Chains A and B, each alone.
Chain A
Amino acid sequence: MDRRNPVSVNVPPPGSPLIVLGIETSCDETAAAVVERSADGGGLILANVVRSQWDEHRRYGGVVPEIAARAHVSCLDILIAEALSISGKGLSDLSAVAATAGPGLVGGLVIGMVTGKTLAMAAGRPFLAINHLEAHALTVGLTDGLRPPYLLLLVSGGHTQLLLVRGVGQYERLGTTIDDALGEAFDKTAKLLGLPQPGGPAVERMAAGGDPRRFDFPRPLAGRAQAHFSFAGLKTAVRRRAMDLVPLSDVDIADLCASFQAAAMDAVADRVGRAMEIAEDRLGADASRRLVVAGGVAANKALRTRLADLVAGRGYTLHVPPAGLCTDNGAMIAWAGAERLALGQVDDLTAKARPRWPLDENAPPAIGAGVKA
């Protein structure tokens, strides 16, 4: 039998309010949320539940993919049931089901996608395969009602990118890291200094009591024409200085953290400043002077402070979603799904998980970049 449209689904008519279930399983957080998008484009979170697996991974010093996948499959349906119950909605109230399709760990992605596809099929609703980075990029629409265009700094354990967000599905990568992500640099520094994981908050806590001027660490790529990042050299510089000081006192550790964080933030601010110029160039007269920060590292207070100084000097406004919506969550996946559904976009049940899925597939490789760029 020839059936070109294998699963019949009810796609809502344009302009209707949308209720979307979002599923996130790309790394070590299992998450589900229900989000409503009103006809005028406003967003409301009806439920947002996240289960962190960190306790299961802690003794391995990082996320173990097989452990993550085992944890996801054991609790995802329970979290979805909880999210639906909190939202007061049933499956039949949903307009669509959205799940993260990438980038991320394939074992987890597959679980979220199969679960999402099955729910979509059982409910007779469209399925949406969501790019996790796009979800981070669009979160300010949900939290602040901010619409593109804007400049986005996406900072997480796995990504450090500057993107010009022109619209839903329209992303231009202005810069990326050529080696480590910013979050990764924090994690590795924490590990080096014997601080607990996740390393970002631990380094930030120690830095608060340290002297940021005791060590003069490099500000990688500062002043370069392209808006790329590099953190590997900074990480090595911290290691060299720390090894000279062994055994490390608490003051040494605090000063190393503070000096590292100051250097990293200076480098970020320099690169974001450069990206602002490129964005203004590309957008021309209607350049909107708005900087959005998303991703797990956006919770870092030193980063917010440093960027607040930068935007003030450049006539920009700074938009950072609340911490719980910067780290991995289902609400951003549901929201990205709602935004795409509002444009009439849906995916079918053959959609594949995409462990690597750049937001700007046309971006040229950054010179000297490793595989992560």
Chain B
Amino acid sequence: MNVLALDTCFPALSVAVGSNLASPRARVLSRTEPMATGHAERLLPLIDELLDEARLAVADIDRVVVTVGPGSFTGTRIGIAAARAFKLARNMALVPITSLEAIALSPLIAAAPGEDVVVAVDAHRGEAYVQVFDAAACQTLGAPRILALSDFASLQRGRPLLAIGTAALAVTEAINASGGEARAQSDMIFPDMAAAAIWAATREPATAPIEPLYLRPPDAKPQEGKSLERAGA
């Protein structure tokens, strides 16, 4: 199976191409390019470069795994728009993965035996996007959610936690201050799309259109009336 993996949720662009996955000839090529903006300009050329290196054509790709957020709203939509267009063009199967789970798949995460992993990414306004994983079993322990700083301590449910991501230190401090046990691995870890490609090869594809996971409503307030008074109103 050949899998294309895309992540555009954070200030980096990550693309991976896995060929012959779930076979002895499996091979994964991946590239992560840090960038604050410009994902929409670089995404397709980078996909093309990796396909070329893998000696694959677009038509050879069987499925696309894409991070659906949480993350930058605009960034998240870029990957989803591309994935949905690939499906439309070539009827490829789509496999959604949360951006936090794609981070948790990184082999750079060094959890100790008995530790759970919490991926916590700064969402600004005193909040973080968080998701907890059982590192040993490679399983999620709940859906991603948005959590206020004052609620960070509630993340611990018994086992010691290894916190990853841009809000890892704040989470660790909150947990330790409330008598819990947590440590932070503060390296910057982006979603690992090479790992996500391998992960996606054995997952069930989505049956409904994939949608961004924003976790926050759009910033908009219903407008107050600015109209003049009408007779009899």
B87 engages A110 (CB within 8 Å):
no
Q: Is A291 an interface residue (CB 8 A)?
A: no
Q: Is A232 an interface residue (CB 8 A)?
A: no
Nearest-neighbor residue (CB-CB) of A123 within chain B: B89
CA distance A240 to B192 in the complex (A): 61
B contact residues, range: 35 or more
A191 engages B218 (CB within 8 Å):
no
Q: Is B22 an interface residue (CB 8 A)?
A: no
| Chain A residues, CB < 8 A from B81 | 73, 76-77, 110-111, 114-115, 118
| Chain B residues, CB < 8 A from A77 | 81, 84-85, 87-88, 209
Q: Which of A38-46, A62-70, A281-289 lies at the binding interface? A: A62-70
For chain B, residues 168 to 227, give those with C-beta under 8 angstroms from any C-beta of chain A.
Answer: 209, 211-212, 214, 218-223, 225-227
CA distance A253 to B227 in the complex (A): 12
Q: Mark A247-283, 1 if CB is under 8 A from B, else 0.
A: 1111011000000000000000000000000000000
Of A6, A69, A73, A121, which is within 8 A of B58 by CB? A121
Q: Is B111 an interface residue (CB 8 A)?
A: no
Q: Is B151 an interface residue (CB 8 A)?
A: no
B48 engages A7 (CB within 8 Å):
yes
Q: Is B63 an interface residue (CB 8 A)?
A: no
B230 engages A119 (CB within 8 Å):
no
Main secondary structure of the interface of B (DSSP, over half): helix
Nearest-neighbor residue (CB-CB) of A120 within chain B: B44
A114 engages B82 (CB within 8 Å):
yes
Determine how close the nearest CB of chain A comes to the CB of B14; give it in whole angstroms: 16
Given A60-B223, A91-B89, A248-B230: A349 and B218 interface contact (C-beta under 8 Å): no
Given A66-B219, A121-B47: A247 and B89 interface contact (C-beta under 8 Å): no
| Chain B residues, CB < 8 A from A61 | 222-223
A122 engages B52 (CB within 8 Å):
no
| Chain B residues, CB < 8 A from A362 | none
Nearest-neighbor residue (CB-CB) of A81 within chain B: B88
Of A3, A81, A121, A246, which is within 8 A of B44 by CB? A121
| Chain B residues, CB < 8 A from A193 | 227-228
A73 engages B212 (CB within 8 Å):
yes
Give the interface centre of A106, A122, A242 by most chain B CB atoms within 10 Å.
Answer: A122
Give the interface centre of B41, B228, B231, B233 by most chain A CB atoms within 10 Å.
Answer: B228
Determine how close the nearest CB of chain A comes to the CB of B50; give it in whole angstroms: 11
Determine how close the nearest CB of chain B comes to the CB of A196; give it in whole angstroms: 11
| Chain B residues, CB < 8 A from A80 | 88
CA distance A363 to B91 in the complex (A): 46
For chain A, residues 323 to 373, give those with C-beta under 8 angstroms from any C-beta of chain B.
Answer: 349-353
Determine how close the nearest CB of chain A comes to the CB of B94; give it in whole angstroms: 11
CA distance A60 to B225 in the complex (A): 10
Q: Is A210 an interface residue (CB 8 A)?
A: no
B47 engages A73 (CB within 8 Å):
no
B77 engages A73 (CB within 8 Å):
yes
Determine how close the nearest CB of chain A comes to the CB of B47; give it in whole angstroms: 7
Given A76-B81, A115-B81, A122-B89: A194 and B41 interface contact (C-beta under 8 Å): no
| Chain A residues, CB < 8 A from B82 | 114-115, 117-118
B89 engages A66 (CB within 8 Å):
no
Q: Is A208 an interface residue (CB 8 A)?
A: no
For chain B, residues 81 to 136, give those with C-beta under 8 angstroms from any C-beta of chain A.
Answer: 81-82, 84-90
B223 engages A62 (CB within 8 Å):
yes
Which residues does B use to contact A, with CB under 8 Å? 40-45, 47-49, 52-53, 58, 73-74, 77-78, 80-82, 84-90, 209, 211-212, 214, 218-223, 225-233
Which 9 A/B pairs are nearest by Cβ-Cβ distance? A61-B223, A122-B89, A118-B85, A194-B227, A66-B218, A349-B44, A64-B220, A247-B231, A114-B81
Which residues does A use to contact B, with CB under 8 Å? 1, 3, 6-7, 59-62, 64, 66-67, 69-70, 73-74, 76-78, 80-81, 91, 106-107, 110-111, 113-119, 121-123, 191-194, 242-243, 246-250, 252-253, 349-353
